[in-house]
Every structure is written in structure tokens, then in C-alpha cells.
């Protein structure tokens, strides 16, 4: 009797939820294409054409890669943000002259713009009650209109770099077509799968094959398509 009643309760709860893959509900994962694209659009909507008047770069050489905080700050101070670019899970800010700040989000990277809602993972989120900029901030700029932007990383797996041409440097240079910006045609996608002996989920996660798809998107895509993740791609 206890087992039956427990089963009824589980079914009742499941009946009230939207249909989703068994692995999706309640999980925390890395930022993937949607979160990085949401950050890019937030920068595009709020920061373009504005000059950087103040910069704070964290003294954290695990995240700030290949440059000292002081050199990073000097290199971008006074420059204007002209566009926000993305490929896969990588974001970079194009300024009015190079070099450009580049962000690899890692497991918990997130963009915050003070006073602007930006979609991010629960794992990445910094509480509103904490100080601003957050103690987890690795890159902070104040723009000439007073707007403030911060890149935070609570787990220190992100990479923030200053690059002359981010698209020409690893890891961005080795990425496959972006799943949103450079979608394959059906014919090209079918041909690309034809000789693949790997199972389909690891192939979707291969950023050299197609970039931007991570664990939860791959799970959800395969579940909605009714394709088993261990099915051979070909």
C-alpha cells in the first residue's frame, strides 16, 4: 500500500509539470549558448557607443589569463564599446580599437549589468544583497553614462583574456559552426552524421562539430526528438 500511494503522489506531481527530459528538472549546469547569448544581447542593448571610464580587474591569474590586472586596465580605459560578439559559449567585446576583452564562461561565469536583468544559471547567480561589484567580480567597468558591468565567476573556471582578434585564437578558432548563428542545412547535417561512429550525445557536445550545445541542451534536444543519447550518430 505504501508503494502504491507513493507512486500516486509522484505521478500527481509529474502531471503538473510540463513535459521535459528526466535529467532536466532541478539540475545546475554550465552556462551554455542561451545564457551567453542573453548576456551578449544585454551588452548590445545597454552598452554600445559608450566609453569605458573606470576599470577594475581582479588580481586572479587563474581567471585573468596572460596579462596583469594593471596592463589590462590601461589597455581598455577610455575606449568605446562598439559591439558584442559571441561564438559558442564565448563572448567578446569589440572596442573602437584592439585589443578586445574576451570571456570564456566556464562552469559559473556570468555577466551583470547594474539595474538590468540578465538571464543566468542559478549556480552562477550572485545575490542582490551582496556588495557591488561582487566579491566574485573578475572584470568590472563603469561607462561614461554611469552604467556598470561586471563579469563574475564564483568557481574560478572561467577565463578572461585581452586579445587582438579573439576569433583567431583558441578556443574560438577551433569551434565548429555556432548552433544559433550558423545553423547547418538539413542536407549538410545529414551528410556530417553519415560516417560518424560515435554516439549522438557526445557528438552534439563536441564543440569542434557544432558550438554552443552543452549537457542540458543536448539532453533536451534528444528527449524532444525521441532519440536515445547512446544511438550511433550515423
Average pLDDT of span 61-87: 98
- The verdict on whether 32 is a catalytic residue reads yes
pLDDT at 131: 82
- The verdict on whether 31 is a catalytic residue reads yes
For the chain, list the domains and their CATH numbers. 33-172 (3.20.190.10), 176-233 (1.10.8.50)
Query: Is the model's pTM score more than 0.85?
Result: no
The catalytically annotated residue of 32, 35, 37, 142 is 32
C-alpha cell at 146: 554611469
Residue 97 pLDDT more than 90?
Answer: yes
The catalytically annotated residue of 87, 89, 120, 201 is 89
- The verdict on whether 35 is a catalytic residue reads no
| Tens-digit pLDDT profile for residues 9-38 | 334 333 443 444 333 333 456 899 999 999
pLDDT at 117: 82
C-alpha cell at 58: 581582479
Amino acid at each position: 500500500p505504501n508503494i502504491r500511494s507513493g507512486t500516486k503522489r509522484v505521478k500527481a506531481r509529474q502531471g503538473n509539470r510540463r513535459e521535459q527530459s528526466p535529467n532536466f528538472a532541478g539540475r545546475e549546469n554550465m552556462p551554455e549558448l542561451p545564457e551567453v547569448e542573453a548576456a551578449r544581447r544585454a551588452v548590445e542593448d545597454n552598452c554600445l557607443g559608450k566609453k569605458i571610464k573606470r576599470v577594475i580587474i581582479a588580481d586572479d591569474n587563474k581567471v585573468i589569463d596572460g596579462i596583469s590586472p594593471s596592463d589590462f586596465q590601461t589597455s581598455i580605459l577610455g575606449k568605446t564599446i562598439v559591439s558584442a560578439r559571441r561564438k559558442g559559449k564565448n563572448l567578446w567585446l569589440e572596442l573602437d580599437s584592439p585589443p578586445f576583452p574576451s570571456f570564456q564562461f566556464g562552469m559559473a561565469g556570468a555577466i551583470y549589468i547594474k539595474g538590468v536583468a540578465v538571464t543566468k544559471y542559478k549556480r552562477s547567480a550572485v545575490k542582490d544583497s551582496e556588495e557591488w561589484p561582487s566579491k566574485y567580480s573578475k572584470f568590472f567597468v563603469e561607462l561614461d553614462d554611469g552604467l556598470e558591468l561586471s563579469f563574475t565567476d564564483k568557481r574560478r573556471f572561467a577565463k578572461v583574456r585581452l586579445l587582438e582578434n579573439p576569433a583567431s585564437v583558441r578556443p574560438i578558432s577551433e569551434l565548429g559552426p555556432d548552433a544559433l548563428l550558423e545553423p547547418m542545412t538539413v542536407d549538410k547535417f545529414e551528410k556530417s552524421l553519415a560516417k560518424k561512429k560515435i554516439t549522438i550525445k557526445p557528438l552534439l557536445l563536441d564543440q569542434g562539430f557544432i558550438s554552443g550545445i552543452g549537457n542540458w541542451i543536448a539532453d533536451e534536444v534528444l528527449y524532444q526528438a525521441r532519440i536515445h543519447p547512446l544511438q550511433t550518430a550515423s
